[in-house]
Amino acid sequence: MNLAITGVGLALPGDASITDLLGPVMARACAVDPASRLGRKGLRFKDRATQLGLCAADEALRAAGLWNPDLAPDERLTVPGESVAVVVSSNLGNIDTVCRVAQTIGEEGSRSLSPMDTPNASSNILASDVAIRFGLRGPNLMVCNGATSGLDAVHWASTMLRSGRAEYVVVLGVEPDNEMVRQLTDTGRVLDGAAAVVLEVPEHAKSRGVTACAEVGRYVRTAGMAECVDRLTSVDTPHVWFTPEGTGKRPEALAGTMRLDIAGRRGLCYGALGVLQCAAAAGWFAQGGDGPVLALAGNDSDDATAGVLLYAGATGD
C-alpha cells in the first residue's frame, strides 16, 4: 500500500523551496532563523536541531491542513492529538549539548551545570518537543540510525500507519551544524537544516479533501547499494535516482537513469537525507517530473543501504 505525502516543510539555508532542492545551492545562503519563523516564545533553551525541527514540522503540519495557527489555542490542531505520531531522524542532534556538558563537568564539576540542559542531554528531545509544541499524543519515535536513518524513519512512519497506531505521521529529518559535529564527522560543513513530510493513507487524505503531493511506495534495506537497486527496480523502473551521500559519479548502478545528488553542496545531510529526498520528490512532481523516483540512502561503506520508491500523488502503483 502506498502512502500519501500531504504536507512538506523545510527549514533550509536560503529559505529554499521543494523545487530548489533539485538544483544547486545558492552561495552564501543565510542560515535559518527560527525566531523569525516561529516567534521567540518557547524557543529559549532549545538546541539548534530542535529549533530547526520545529520550523519544518510547523510548515508541514500547516501544509497538510492539520495545524492552523489562526484558530484558538485548543483548536489549532485540527484533528485529535492521539491520531498524530511523530517520527524524527537525526544522528547528530544533541552532540553539542553532550560535549559541552561533559566539558563543563570535567573543568568545573557538576555544580556549574545548568538544569536547562537536562532535556537536551537525552537524544529524543527533538521528537518530544515537536509533540509538545503541537499537542501530538500519538507514538513518538526518535530514529538515530546512521546514513539510512531518514528513509528508515519514513519506513517506521509507514509501519505505524499500516498497523493502525496512527492516522497521520509527521516525519522529520534534521542535522545541525556546529563545531562538535564537524569534528566528529570530519566534514567541513553539516546541513544545518531540516525537512518534514506528513504521511497518511491516500483514501484518508481524499476523504478530507487534501491532495497528495507525492506517494511513498516500497521500502527495502539491504547490505549494499547494488542489491537495494536490484530489489526496488524489480518492482518498478525509476525515471530519476536520488543518490546516497558520498556516492560520487560511480557509474555501475542504474546507468541510464537521471541522477540527482540532493546532499550535493548542502554539506553532510546524514540522518536528514532520506526526508530531504522525499521532500525533493514532491518538488520533482510539482514541476511536472515523471515517476517513479528512487531514493537511496547509505552507500557501500555504510552499514546498510535503504531505498524507497516514490510516485506522483494519486497515480499510485
Partner 1 sequence: MSLRIAGIGAMASVGHDAAEVFENLCAGRGAPNVLRGFDRSWFTADQLFEIDDRPVPGADVPGRATAFLLDVVGQALADAGLPAQLDDIPVLVGTGLRELRSVELWWRESAKFPVDRLHFGTALRERFGAVDTHTFANACSASLYALALGADLIRMDEADTVIVAGVDSVTTSMYGLADRFQPSPPDRVRPFDRNRKGTILGDGAAAVVLRRDTGRHGVLRSVGINCDARHPTAPDRNGITSAMRLAHELAGVRPRDIDLVLLHGTGTPLNDEVEARAFGEVFGADAGRPLLTGIKSMTGHTSGSAGVLSLIVALRALATGTVPPITAVDDPIDEVAGYRMVLGTAASEPLSMAQVNGFGFGGVNAVAVVEAAR
Q: Is the Cβ of residue 138 or residue 291 nearer to partner 1 in the bound state?
A: 138
Q: Is the Cβ of residue 119 or residue 289 nearer to partner 1 in the bound state?
A: 119
Smallest separation, CB 35 to partner 1 (Å):
19
Q: Is the Cβ of residue 10 or residue 172 nearer to partner 1 in the bound state?
A: 172
Q: Is the Cβ of residue 97 or residue 277 nearer to partner 1 in the bound state?
A: 97
**Which residues make up the interface to partner 1 (CB under 8 A)?**
81-82, 86, 91, 95, 97-99, 101-106, 109-111, 113-115, 117-119, 121-125, 127-129, 131-132, 134-149, 152, 156, 159-160, 162-163, 165, 180, 184-186, 221-223, 302-304
Buried b (16+ CB within 10 A) or exposed e, 33-63: ebeebbeeeebeebbbbbbbbbbbbbbbbbb
Q: Is the Cβ of residue 10 or residue 253 nearer to partner 1 in the bound state?
A: 253
- What is d(CA 317, CA 244) in angstroms, rounded to the nearest whole number? 24
Smallest separation, CB 109 to partner 1 (Å):
5
- What is d(CA 8, CA 11) in angstroms, rounded to the nearest whole number? 10
- What is d(CA 126, CA 254) in angstroms, rounded to the nearest whole number? 36
Cell 503540519 sits at which residue? 61
Smallest separation, CB 217 to partner 1 (Å):
15
Q: Is the Cβ of residue 162 or residue 259 nearer to partner 1 in the bound state?
A: 162
Q: Is the Cβ of residue 36 or residue 110 nearer to partner 1 in the bound state?
A: 110
Smallest separation, CB 287 to partner 1 (Å):
34
Smallest separation, CB 232 to partner 1 (Å):
15
Beta bridge partners of 67: 77
Buried b (16+ CB within 10 A) or exposed e, 152-168: bbbbbbbebbeeeebbb
Buried b (16+ CB within 10 A) or exposed e, 108-117: eeeeeeeeeb
Cell 501530538 sits at which residue? 136
Task: For residue 209, give every residue at least 6 positions away whose Cβ sits within 8 Å of its Cβ, in sequence order, or none.
Answer: none
The torsion of the CA quartet 236, 239, 242, 248, rounded to 10 degrees, works out to: 110
Helix (H/G/I), strand (E/B), else coil: 304: coil
Smallest separation, CB 260 to partner 1 (Å):
25
Smallest separation, CB 19 to partner 1 (Å):
31
